[in-house]
Chain A
Amino acid sequence: MDFTISPVNKMIIKAAKDFSERKIPAIEAYMKEHSDYPPNLMEIYAENRMLGFNVPREYGGIGTSNFNMILYIEEMGKTASTCFLPFMMNNSVAETICHWGSEEVKKKFVPPLCDGTAWATMAFTEPDTGSDPKMLTTTARPDGDDFIINGTKRFISMANKPGYGVFICKDLSLAGQKNNTTAFIIDKTSPGISCSKHYELTGLEGADTCDITFTDVRVPKGNILGKQGEGFNILLRWIAGERIQQAAGMVGVGQRAFEEAKKYSLQRVVNGMPMGYMQGFYWMLGEMKVKINACRLMVYQAVCKQDAGKSFEVDSAEVKVFTTPMIQEVTRMAVQFLGSYGYSKEYIVEKLFRLAMHQGVVASSLEINKTIVGMTALMSK
């Protein structure tokens, strides 16, 4: 597999670096002050034509590859800003609707996710539901031309932002059937929707993760994404892409941690010599670099399969299983490199370390991905 970075890829990286250096500091400053995303964040992304990477132009997208998108995400990851999450969400949900939706659904819901007027959400998790669709309690009851939605979804990103979310619900019209989950595209400003306050998270500062509760929320049947009963499959495909994107962001986090450690190791003088020239430290640097490169190659391999239209769900799980502990270890090593400075909020490695911890629990847990990889290996001929 050839991972040569083409001139187009290089220009994407350059644009992403430019965006990260010139635009993210102001976004980050707002997030620090308000513990939330700037209200115009999607407009900023749309102005810079960063939404709809893998969405055809006829629906307002850019019409390029997932590979180019993960290159962009890696650069954003280097800033340690949480603002890459809504960027990934609008891109991945728009692509998901394009993949599963009817022409009518695509024309109605995809352009607002690409022009910055709508914030996307994808929701499955509930207070008592981790990864098992049989445990879902949010219900969709048919009523004439509509469905009535009731229930609560937990830890939902951008749930309280205006726009559209894809919500996976137990479809009561499919009661007794094996596949009884259906995906509904719901306007998050619909009557009957309420949200909790944000959760205070270890990392992901400024993220607006909250609970969203539906009380007799009326949704037209025309808002069903895909077919009834396909809800869980829609989620699995979406989250497979999300895992790759998340890992790309974490590769950026690891790369930044490495660069910070390297910089410090050349600045800090011990016994008249930069400490980086001491074997203990350059061995650590070497280990960090190898770990990051291995993670990056796994991300590239998985995203290339995704772009080729091949099955990539298991590859994506493998990416999660490998990259999560690797990047967490790299950021921990960066903290060790800087000593007490690394444990101080004045230095970015402390934030990178906390940010890396989210990968093990957000967008499917590390353990469920080990299950996917292990069971697939066990069952394969």
Chain B
Amino acid sequence: MNIIVCIKQVPNVTQVKWDADGSLIRTGLPTIINPVDKNAIEAALQLKEKHGGKVTVLSMGPSQVESALREALCMGVDEVIQLTDRKFAGADTWATSYTIGVAIQKIADYDLVITGVEAMDGNTAQVGPQIAEFLGLPLLSYALSIEVAGGKVTIDQKLGDLSRVVEAKLPALVTVEKEINEYRVTPIDKVIDAFEKNIPVWGVDDISPDVVHLGLKGSPTKLRKVYSPKLEKGKVEMLEGTPDDIARQLVDKLNAKFLI
């Protein structure tokens, strides 16, 4: 059973600091594997341990993404592929999904694609489903478990407080929730092996995409502005009355500001 896992390298937003104007300080922010993507890798490794086969991890990004892929090798995956090209830069979720989709088409030999539900920096949850759409694969999203048997994949799908069982024929794409597993502590022997492997880098010439769909130019999303909401201090209004009165006043005020 051959599995492809798509991961993203993200800034460690748990260590974000803000300057005096309330703007994000990006300089020196460490990068990490998007946490739920580590659960995706773990899910793939567990399926491989049960069914055999190979786990390949794919990631698109600048040259620094190599460290995320090296860490994936340290977790024990068989192969990694780095998608790096200046023409990929500035891609929105659609162009990213297209580029990764074309790379997966090049890999060709796979039964299952697994991604994390969403990245902690953008929180769109769009790339996994868009890759499935591009490749024409059944999409099984929000997985709390994955079982593979008889040419089918079955997941327990998280739907808020409820869950339901979803099944599809392989090949398919599954997006996983963090609750699906506890990803492993990096095994030391795999660390030693990981640093002896070369990481192949695929650019535009390696995957032959339609270049009009790549990067910023190929992105239908136009980002107008990125800004940090201004934090206003000292504007506190104390509500008076019984708890019921206060609750009603609070609801009215939030409604007036279209916050609920």
A residues sitting closer than 8 Å to B (CB atoms) are 7-8, 11-12, 14-15, 18-19, 22-23, 48-50, 53, 57, 62-64, 68, 72
A62-B184 contact, Cβ under 8 Å, with A7-B70, A11-B71, A15-B74:
no
Pair B195/A15 contact, Cβ less than 8 Å: no
Q: Which residues of B contact A50 (CB under 8 A)?
A: 188
Q: Which residues of B contact A8 (CB under 8 A)?
A: 191-192, 195
CB nearest neighbor in B for A12: B191
A72-B188 contact, Cβ under 8 Å, with A8-B195, A11-B74, A11-B194:
yes
Is B190 among interface residues, defined by CB-CB distance under 8 A?
Answer: yes
Pair B185/A63 contact, Cβ less than 8 Å: no
The residue among B184, B185, B190, B192 with the most chain A CB atoms within 10 A of its own CB is: B185
Pair B195/A68 contact, Cβ less than 8 Å: no
9 additional contacts (CB under 8 A) given A7-B195, A22-B185: A8-B192, A11-B194, A11-B195, A15-B185, A18-B185, A18-B186, A22-B182, A62-B189, A72-B188
Closest 8 CB pairs of A and B: A49-B187, A15-B186, A19-B185, A62-B189, A48-B185, A49-B189, A8-B195, A49-B188
Q: Which residues of B contact A19 (CB under 8 A)?
A: 185
* Complex Cα spacing A33 to B188, Å: 30
CB distance from B197 to the nearest CB of A (A): 12
Pair A15/B70 contact, Cβ less than 8 Å: no
CB nearest neighbor in B for A46: B187
* Complex Cα spacing A53 to B186, Å: 14
Q: Which residues of A contact B184 (CB under 8 A)?
A: 48
Q: Which residues of B contact A64 (CB under 8 A)?
A: 188, 192
Dominant SS among interface residues on chain A: helix
Q: Which residues of A contact B194 (CB under 8 A)?
A: 11
CB nearest neighbor in B for A72: B188
CB nearest neighbor in A for B184: A48
* Complex Cα spacing A48 to B70, Å: 18
CB nearest neighbor in B for A15: B186
CB nearest neighbor in B for A22: B185
* Complex Cα spacing A63 to B193, Å: 10
Q: Which residues of B contact A18 (CB under 8 A)?
A: 185-186
Pair A15/B191 contact, Cβ less than 8 Å: yes
B70, B71, B182, B188: the one contacting A12 at CB < 8 Å is B188
A14-B188 contact, Cβ under 8 Å, with A7-B195, A8-B195:
no
* Complex Cα spacing A53 to B192, Å: 11
| A-contacting residues, B183-240, CB 8 Å | 184-192, 194-195
23 contacts between A and B (CB under 8 A): A7-B70, A7-B195, A8-B191, A11-B70, A11-B191, A14-B186, A15-B185, A15-B188, A18-B185, A18-B186, A19-B185, A22-B185, A23-B185, A48-B188, A49-B187, A49-B188, A49-B189, A53-B188, A57-B189, A62-B192, A63-B192, A64-B188, A72-B188
* Complex Cα spacing A14 to B185, Å: 9
CB distance from A69 to the nearest CB of B (A): 9
* Complex Cα spacing A18 to B188, Å: 12
A49-B195 contact, Cβ under 8 Å, with A11-B71, A11-B74, A22-B185:
no
Q: Which residues of B contact A53 (CB under 8 A)?
A: 188
* Complex Cα spacing A15 to B185, Å: 6
CB nearest neighbor in A for B190: A49
CB distance from B152 to the nearest CB of A (A): 30
Pair B191/A48 contact, Cβ less than 8 Å: no
Q: Which residues of A contact B189 (CB under 8 A)?
A: 49, 57, 62-63
